[in-house]
């Protein structure tokens, strides 16, 4: 089984298509690459070209192979969105919450994020942080650096935190934070993109992933950032790691099942709701 933990319904790659059509393209792409399940991340702000929370909830309910995370815009966070996410977590519509530090100017350890962390702790669902490269504006990366995420890990030790994109280009810092903090994980989405390979170096990427996979194999999650990144290249990246088949299986699906607390039913479908 393969689980893609990080995709978006985005018009950037599909100009002129509706989100429903883009969702159908996602399902076709999954079939083509043998992906069993994908987790969709909505945007925290409306009208950005990426599906928002409400649109995504509606589309994911129609597709048993798709799951989604909730999200909130931290600068305008209020009790209304917290109550909404609380309900969506209770009904199983969302299996985690994604935050966008760097895109939005807040640090993950700020008090205004705490209601999200309390909600996710209550439902035992993870928080995913956008991390690393942000809109090609490096000054934004100080808001989502793995060291900032590590502060939350210490404050909320029973909360699971996922660093998206292995915080590229800060992949070595991300590795160190994962290895030091038992409740911090990372997804590999974007790491196989040619620009990222050029900036970080292929050998450096393989080396940090193998470091983590060898010492704490339960910490790496497969993700692609489809549709802006290639699913095939990301599968190739995992298959090129010098690790056992057992560890590759953990990366490709087993870790996502555990971190997101999903279960397989007899037909091989995930049950999270």
Of the pair 42, 217, the CB lying nearest Zn ion is at 42
CB of 41 to Zn ion, least distance (A): 6
CB of 182 to Zn ion, least distance (A): 25
Sheet with 97-99, edge to edge strand ranges: 70-71, 97-99, 127-129, 161-163, 184-187, 220-221
Of the pair 93, 133, the CB lying nearest Zn ion is at 133
99 contacts: CB under 8 Å, gap ≥ 6? 44, 71, 72, 74, 108, 113, 116, 127, 128, 129, 130
Residues that bind Zn ion (CB under 5 A): 225
Which residue's CB atom is positioned nearest to Zn ion? 225
Six token digits for residue 248: 């590759």
CB of 8 to Zn ion, least distance (A): 5
Of the pair 97, 247, the CB lying nearest Zn ion is at 97
179 contacts: CB under 8 Å, gap ≥ 6? 211, 212, 215, 216, 219
Which residue intervals of the chain are DSSP H helices? Answer: 19-33, 53-62, 79-90, 114-123, 146-155, 171-180, 194-200, 202-215, 231-239, 245-249, 255-259
User: Quick check: helix, strand or coil at residue 48?
Assistant: coil
Of the pair 8, 123, the CB lying nearest Zn ion is at 8
Angstrom distance (rounded) from CA 69 to CA 139: 27
CB of 126 to Zn ion, least distance (A): 15
CA 271 to chain CA centroid, nearest Å: 19
Of the CA atoms within 13 Å of residue 243, those in its CB half-sphere come to: 26
Measured from the Cβ of residue 35, the count of other Cβ atoms closer than 10 Å reads 24
CA 140 to chain CA centroid, nearest Å: 19
Of the pair 88, 162, the CB lying nearest Zn ion is at 162
Of the pair 6, 247, the CB lying nearest Zn ion is at 6
CB of 264 to Zn ion, least distance (A): 25
CB of 267 to Zn ion, least distance (A): 29
Of the pair 77, 188, the CB lying nearest Zn ion is at 188
CB of 189 to Zn ion, least distance (A): 6
């Amino acid at each position: 089984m393969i689980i893609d933990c990080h995709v978006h319904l985005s018009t950037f790659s599909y100009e002129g298509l509706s989100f429903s059509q883009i969702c159908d393209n996602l399902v076709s792409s999954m079939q083509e690459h043998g992906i069993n399940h994908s987790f969709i991340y909505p945007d925290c702000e409306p009208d950005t070209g990426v599906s928002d929370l409400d649109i995504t909830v509606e589309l994911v309910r129609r597709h048993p192979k798709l799951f989604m995370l909730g999200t909130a815009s931290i600068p305008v966070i209020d009790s209304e969105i917290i109550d909404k996410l609380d309900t969506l977590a209770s009904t199983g519509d969302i299996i985690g919450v994604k935050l966008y530090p760097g895109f939005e100017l807040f640090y993950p350890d700020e008090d205004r994020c705490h209601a999200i962390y309390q909600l996710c702790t209550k439902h035992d669902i993870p928080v995913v942080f956008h991390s690393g490269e942000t809109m090609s504006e490096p000054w934004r990366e100080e808001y989502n650096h793995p060291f900032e995420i590590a502060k939350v890990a210490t404050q909320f030790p029973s909360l699971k935190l996922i660093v998206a994109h292995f915080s590229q280009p800060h992949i070595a810092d991300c590795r160190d934070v994962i290895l030091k903090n038992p409740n911090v994980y990372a997804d590999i989405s974007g790491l196989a993109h040619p620009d990222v390979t050029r900036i970080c170096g292929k050998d450096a990427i393989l080396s940090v992933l193998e470091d983590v996979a060898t010492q704490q194999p339960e910490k790496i999650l497969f993700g692609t950032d489809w549709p802006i990144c290639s699913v095939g290249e990301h599968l190739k990246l995992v298959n090129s790691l010098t690790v056992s088949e057992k560890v590759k299986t953990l990366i490709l699906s087993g870790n996502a099942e555990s971190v997101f607390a999903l279960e397989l039913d007899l037909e091989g479908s995930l049950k999270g709701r």
